[in-house]
Amino acid sequence: MKQPTILSYVKDIPNLLSLSGLACTILAIYFSITGLYAAAMIGMVWAVGFDWADGLVARKLKGRTPTDAKFGGQLDVLIDIVSYGVTPAILLLSYGNFEPLFLIGAFIMVAAAAIRLSYFSTYGLAGGTKYTGLALDNNSLILVSVFLLNGLVSHDVFTIILYVSGVTLAILNVSEIKTPKLSGNPRNVYLLVAYTLGITVVYGLQLM
């Protein structure tokens, strides 16, 4: 059997959704670096939306082979490290004016994400239903809410809040706590849609 080409997998709808999430992530990184944080928050929350969507669509599509599923899973993991590890770390570095002290927090956040994803790739869901450690998509969902405090408290105070929040999430990512797979529940999907639209409106108004 002839091996498919690399780019043939781009035509797969779940993979297109994954790449759409990556595009949102790149925008979030760009706007974090340029200091347009409201736009970065919108990119971060939409990246989660596309991440959930690719799995939902993949489970409903007919005719996908085990190889298609394996490729999609690998693509999803690689994008997750950028979306939920690298992006929050860059956000922290940018808000901290790229001071060396913030490299420590950034490293902890990216390292925890890499370890968390490696563990999941090895062992999967605990008991087939729950994650071990806080799932990484929660990092973005929580941080975009935390960022609503920006401007309500002083820059120095919020810098501490953001640093502590990022490191705390990293610790939870690699902890032994068991958390449910939220994307598997239709109700949670509707809640994410509402949350994403709400966050988009709130930060969109800040951009106007």
Q: Tell me the pTM.
A: 0.93
pLDDT at 59: 83
DSSP E strand stretches across the chain: 130-132, 178-180
> Topology of domain 10-207, per CATH?
Four Helix Bundle (Hemerythrin (Met), subunit A) (1.20.120)
Tens digit of each residue's pLDDT (9 = 90 or more) over 131-177: 999 999 999 999 999 999 999 999 999 999 999 999 999 999 999 99
| DSSP class per residue in 37-94 | HHHHHHHHHHHHHHHHHHHHHHHH-SS--HHHHHHHHHHHHHHHHIIIIIHHHHHHHH
Question: Domains of the chain: which residue ranges?
Answer: 10-207
Question: What is the per-residue pLDDT across 48-82, written as a single tens digit (0 to 9) for each?
Answer: 999 999 888 888 888 888 898 899 999 999 999 99
Average pLDDT, the chain: 94
